[in-house]
Amino acid sequence: MEKPNLQDKRRVLIASANPLYGKGLEKLLAQKAAGVAYEIRIASTMAETLNMLEEWRPDLVIVDYDDQTIDRNQFLNQFIVGDRAMQVMLVSLKASGAAVVYDRRTLSPDQTQDWLQLPIDSQPLQSRAHSQRSEGMKHFIIVAVLVAISTVLVNLLLQSIGLLPVEASTQAAIIDRLFDTHFLVISFLFSLIVVFLVYSLIVFRRRKDGDQEGKFFKGSTRLEVLWTILPLVTVIYFSYLGSLSLAETRKVDPQALEVKVIGRQWSWTFEYPEFGIVSDTLQLPVNRQVLLKMTSEDVIHSFWVPEFRVKQDLLPGENLVKELRITPTIIGSYKVRCAELCGTLHAYMESPVVVVSDADFQAWVDEEVKLLNADPATRGERVSKQNGCLACHSVDGTRLVGPSWLGLYESQRELADGTTVVADDAYLLNSIIKPNVQVVAGYPPGVMPQSYVDSLSETQLSDIIAFIKTLK
């Protein structure tokens, strides 16, 4: 490389948009220059500086560190790439004349980061670094307080929305306690992210007069260890809480009432082996544990009463009986629904669940047992009442929406199509399950529900017919 042609004259380039800066330095150098001849030039724009760097080839470049118009990255790239011996001096007047000198030959690229910070070897700058640290601490404390406040508020909001239905079993209380703890953690994580984000967007936004780039750091082992260990410990702790809660919901009461639950597409049946009762309603005494032994007749269903919280799949197969323990705590009417997609009418696979006092439960059992031993006609009368038959069909000959049942059996029926038929067992059954096929003259078709074919069992149908036979 070509050497500067005048060895005794040092070329100094001063880069600053501030004319006072250049003039001041020029004067200073003239005073200090004992026997050294200087040739000084001043560049006030970036382009000018880079141009002179190439054309004029200075020995020393003095850069106004406080000058924001100098693109430091661009300048430094130019400064580093060449192989000609040259020094660069960064001088900051704002930082009480702090200066640092780089030698191009010995500069390594990662030293370029120094350009984003102030020189480190000066006293006032150390105190500035210190104030930056305490500034950082101040932000951290503010954010920590905001995160804490936000956590409390978000948690209160979530609690007040009332995401869960009434807590109607002992098991529900256990599940809800776990749920509340999760909500607290969710509120905290939400706040941690959102508060940091919003705070940074507002406080560290780019100001109108600033074009400084953000501080860069490559990695922090301490931070990485922290954000690996903390979530790990939290998750392990929650799995511990979860297993404790699971064990608690399964606590066995030897006095538990046993009920067999059978699920099928798309209805539920409940059997009480202790009493021999079969019911389509799940009747439960309050404050007594019930042990549900569940099985499916076809596909997988899932027993779920939201107010009781716990849920259990029903599997087809006799040796795949699943158990679920529930202790209802609030008297009231609920609904069991199927929580496993099981076909067309999955959404409608629900049955009433009635929680009653001990005395009412005993009364229900007595009534069911009495009925069990009753004759078919008595059972049929009850089924007719329960299913709304008697709202449209009188038993005393009065004309209601549908034909009266009095004297119906074995009578001659005139149908809407002009034919005549005898009201025997087959006719009665057909009229219940396919009400629009043999419509009696004088009564409009399409009025009677067509759903009894699904909702009534064979026994119930024959019981109703047995009841109709008694009405002579």
Both tokens assigned to 401: 């929406």
* Residue with Cβ nearer ligand CUA (263 or 380): 263
Q: Which residues contact 120 (CB under 8 A, 6 or more apart)?
A: 100, 114, 126, 129
Measured from the CB atom, is 186 or 300 closer to ligand CUA? Answer: 300
The 3-class secondary structure across 394-450, one letter per residue, is CCCCCCCCCCCCCCCCCCEEEECCCCEEECCHHHHHHHHHCCCCCCECCCCCCCCCC
Query: If we measure between CA atoms, which residue out of 326, 315, 328 comes closest to residue 263?
Result: 315
Q: Write down the least CB distance from residue 264 to ligand CUA, Å.
A: 8
Q: Is 174 or 314 the residue whose CB approaches ligand CUA more closely?
A: 314
The DSSP call for residue 137 is H
Residues 135, 274 contacting (CB under 8 angstroms): no
Cis peptide bond upstream of 266, omega within 30: yes
Least gap, CB of 265 to ligand CUA (angstroms): 7
Q: Least distance (Å) from ligand CUA to the CB of residue 266?
A: 6
CB 316 within 8 A of CB 285: no
Supply the Cα-derived Rg of the chain in whole angstroms: 45
d(CA 440, CA 416): 5
Instruction: For the CB of residue 447, give the shortest distance to ligand CUA in the complex, in Å.
Output: 31
Give the nearer residue to ligand CUA in terms of CB position, either 30 or 341: 341
Of 324 and 356, the one with the shorter C-beta distance to ligand CUA is: 324
| Nearest to ligand CUA of 247, 341 (CB atom) | 341
CB of 412 to ligand CUA, least distance (A): 45
- Determine the residue type at 87: Q
Smallest distance from ligand CUA to CB 349, Å: 4
C-beta contacts of 34-40 below 8 A and 24+ residues apart: 36/10, 37/8, 37/9, 37/10, 38/9, 38/10, 38/11, 38/12, 39/6, 39/9, 39/10, 39/11, 39/12, 40/12, 40/13, 40/14
- Closest separation in Å from C-beta 309 to ligand CUA: 18
Which among 370, 355, 359, 371 has a CA at the least distance from the CA of 259? 355
Shortest CB 257 distance to ligand CUA, Å: 24
For 24-91, give the DSSP string.
HHHHHHHHH-SS-EEEEEEE-SHHHHHHHHHHT--SEEEEETT-TTS-HHHHHHHHHH--S--EEEEE
- The whole-angstrom separation of Cα 172 and Cα 470 is 49
Report the residue number, 265 or 430, with the smaller CB distance to ligand CUA: 265
Q: Among residues 271 and 340, whose Cβ is nearest to ligand CUA?
A: 340
- Between 104 and 346, CB nearer to ligand CUA: 346
With H, G, I as helix, E, B as strand and everything else as coil, classify residue 467: helix
Q: What angle do CA 250, 255, 256 make, to 5 degrees?
A: 50
Q: How near is the Cβ of 418 to ligand CUA at its closest, in Å?
A: 45
What does the binding site for ligand CUA look like in residue numbers (CB under 6 A)? 263, 266, 301, 338, 340-342, 346, 349
Hey, is 258 helix, strand or coil? strand
**How far is 472 from 464, CA to CA, in rounded Å?**
15
* Cβ closest to ligand CUA, residue 98 vs residue 349: 349
Q: How far is the CB of 293 from ligand CUA (least distance, A)?
A: 17
Q: Residue 466 and residue 464: Cα distance in Å, rounded? A: 5
CB of 312 to ligand CUA, least distance (A): 12
Q: Which is nearer to ligand CUA, 226 or 341 (CB)?
A: 341
